[in-house]
Structure 1
Amino acid sequence: MKTNGSAVWQGGLKDGKGAITTHSGALKEYPYGFAARFEGKPGTNPEELIGAAHAGCFTMALSMILGGAGLTAEHMETKADVTLDQVPDGFSITKVHLTLKAKVPGATQEKFEELTAMAKAGCPVSKLLKAEITLDATLES
């Protein structure tokens, strides 16, 4: 499988403007720029998109792993907090913290923790990132 996303940019770093588009059309010329990335202004930024991709990838991976264990989630919700830090050679994504809330009938806490750890380590986006990846997983009853 191969897919793509694209970006266009005009201007300098702080006064420039960009737009991000995904192959699927989920984003079509969606604005991004310095102010959206560093000043909390409207628009998106690469870290937000990585967070959404990581949350989606992890949750799908967990669904597959649960199925392999004979379990099916009734509901799963994952948030990925992505940390961008200034480092000696510029900026780097240093951490991603996944927060999962899931309702999985028939799962014990011990089995749930084992399976979520497998999903965290095995999802393709986790494998891509060099950042420290942590997880808080809550099994709801």
Structure 2
Amino acid sequence: MLNRWNPFEFGNGAVVAGPLMRDFDQLFQELAGQATRQGRELAPATDIYETESGVTLQVDMPGHDPKAIEVKVEKGVLTLRSERKADATAKESARRLERGFGVYTRSFKLPDTVDTSKVEARYENGVLTLAMPRKEESKPRVIEVKVQS
């Protein structure tokens, strides 16, 4: 029977570099996670609903200070920005940190039918809800069909 040659394996089947490779993988994953938390902007998960009366966005932003969330509408683009900061004491004693920390930013091109002067924002249980009503002239209108006899 032929066996595939593995340069990291002794003749008895013991793998020398297995733990070493696992340690390198873990190191690179941790470094990538730190880059996510420290310098790169993160995009929060968002659900978008459209009805006859307008558009609603629900944005997951748990752990964000509601007073620090910035909602801006400019030239038909809605931009959300917030920063979730890591707890300094938790960093010292943490064995593993998986939740992302840093600047969260997300932009959306709004349809022309949205009345940007009437956008309302509400933050509840870690979810930012944005209600954006339609302009009156863009709302669907039902036209009655007249029957002539």
TM over 0.5: no
Bigger radius of gyration, 1 or 2? 2
More strand by share: 1
Higher helix share: 1
Q: RCO greater where, 1 or 2, for CA within 8 Å and sep 6 or more?
A: 2
With structure 1 as the length reference, what TM-score do the two structures score? 0.34
